[in-house]
Amino acid sequence: MTYRVQLDLFEGPLDLLLHLIKKNEVDVTNIPVATITEQYLAYLDLMRELNLDVASEYLVMAATLTLLKSRLLLPSPETEDDEEIDPRADLVRQLLEYQRYREAAASLAERPLLRRDVFTREMSAEGVPPDPDAKPLVRVTLWELMQAFRDVLKRAQPDPVHQVAAETVSLRDRITDLLRTLGVARQLTFDSLFGEAPTRGFVIVTFLAVLELAKIGAIAAVQEEILGPIVIVLAVEDVRSVTIDLLDDYEGTPAASSTVGPED
């Protein structure tokens, strides 16, 4: 059985659309449907490649975007006032309403809550106190994390045409390796998790491990500034407190609960 990940971190298709609109620096009331549809479908393909459970609402939105794209290629019907009906109007209304709710939620969340949206810099392993003038680390959205993963995946070595024996990578072992490394370093750049010349399989399993650890709150992805390098920080005091409960390993072998601790 293939290991599948179902995440509560995904906030829905409207959240993804707003991310793409922001990324393309366009007005929400004037969506370039063709461009946004292509990028939206690329995200769905990436989610399927990772064996992420794609909720039906994402597929409904994909169908809606495809329909809008086809309608915009046809002449628009005119009303009695000789005004063309914009087929994007209903989607724009949903996006504006969702954006208002999200802004209201952000306004309510402005009160500082340590280690939820902003992470303080902790003392290093050598006991050096953090720089008091350093900027706080801001949490990275899941979509930004997936974009960084896509960039790493493009650099991965292609699978060999003739493969005699493939080295399998256990998802549980990769999670354990990441936790042990972070237990010492406390934080690592996202790119450094994959090494110099990773294979495609290693990249995918490593990213799944990152998603699983983020899901249980063991790590957080942050940035010092917008569009800056993504940093993975340990969000627990002791990695031995992290319990991993996987239904199956990535290769399909049974996996039970386990607690990460020092190596034997």
Instruction: Please tell me whether residues 99 and 136 are part of one structural domain.
Output: no
Last residue within a domain, chosen from 79, 111, 143: 111
* 89-103, 123-137, 226-240: least confident range: 123-137
The pLDDT value given to residue 35: 92
Closest Cα partner for 195 from 156, 242, 167, 159? 156
Last residue within a domain, chosen from 60, 80, 111: 111
The pLDDT value given to residue 253: 37
Closest Cα partner for 58 from 75, 68, 70, 45? 45
Instruction: Please tell me whether residues 100 and 210 are part of one structural domain.
Output: no
Instruction: Please tell me whether residues 199 and 135 are part of one structural domain.
Output: yes
- Domain of 89 in residue numbering reads as 1-111
Average pLDDT, rounded, for the chain: 75
Distance CA 165, CA 170 (A): 16
The pLDDT value given to residue 139: 79
In whole angstroms, how far apart are CA 152 and each of 145, 178, 186, 190?
11, 17, 22, 9
The pLDDT value given to residue 23: 86
Instruction: Please tell me whether residues 138 and 210 are part of one structural domain.
Output: yes
* 97-101, 115-119, 209-213: least confident range: 115-119
pLDDT digits (tens, 9 = 90+) for 239-248: 888 876 654 4
Our measurement of the distance from residue 131's CA atom to the centroid of its chain's CA atoms, rounded to an integer in Å, reads 29
Instruction: Please tell me whether residues 5 and 98 are part of one structural domain.
Output: yes
Instruction: Please tell me whether residues 80 and 143 are part of one structural domain.
Output: no
Instruction: Please tell me whether residues 152 and 90 are part of one structural domain.
Output: no
Instruction: Please tell me whether residues 105 and 155 are part of one structural domain.
Output: no
251 in Cβ contact with 44 (< 8 Å): no
Q: Report which of residues 138 and 39 the model is more confident about.
A: 39
Instruction: Please tell me whether residues 172 and 234 are part of one structural domain.
Output: yes
SS3 219: strand
The pLDDT value given to residue 241: 82
pLDDT surpasses 60 at 81 = no
pLDDT surpasses 70 at 93 = yes
pLDDT surpasses 80 at 99 = yes
Structure tokens at 174: 């990769």
pLDDT digits (tens, 9 = 90+) for 18-61: 889 988 888 888 889 999 999 999 988 888 877 776 678 888 89
Structure tokens at 200: 């495609």
In whole angstroms, how far apart are CA 82 and each of 70, 74, 92?
22, 17, 21
Instruction: Please tell me whether residues 185 and 257 are part of one structural domain.
Output: yes
If one counts every other C-beta atom within 10 angstroms of the C-beta of residue 121, the result is 17
| E strands present in the chain | 118-119, 137-139, 187-189, 219-223, 231-234, 243-244, 258-259
The pLDDT value given to residue 45: 87
Distance CA 137, CA 114 (A): 11
If one counts every other C-beta atom within 10 angstroms of the C-beta of residue 29, the result is 12
Instruction: Choose from 75-84, 93-102, 105-114, 219-228 the range with maximum mean pLDDT.
Output: 93-102
pLDDT digits (tens, 9 = 90+) for 173-231: 899 999 999 999 999 999 999 888 788 888 889 999 998 898 888 999 988 877 788 99
Last residue within a domain, chosen from 111, 133, 167: 111
Instruction: Please tell me whether residues 84 and 125 are part of one structural domain.
Output: no
pLDDT surpasses 80 at 131 = no
b/e for 195-212, b at 16 or more Cβ within 10 A? eeebbebbbbbbbbbbbb
218 in Cβ contact with 236 (< 8 Å): yes
Q: How many domains does the chain have?
A: 2
Give the rounded percent of residues in the chain with a pLDDT score beyond 70: 67
The pLDDT value given to residue 210: 92
pLDDT surpasses 80 at 119 = no
What's the pTM? 0.66
Query: Which residues have CB under 8 Å from 101's CB, separation 6+?
Result: none
pLDDT surpasses 60 at 132 = no
The pLDDT value given to residue 254: 39
Instruction: Please tell me whether residues 93 and 143 are part of one structural domain.
Output: no
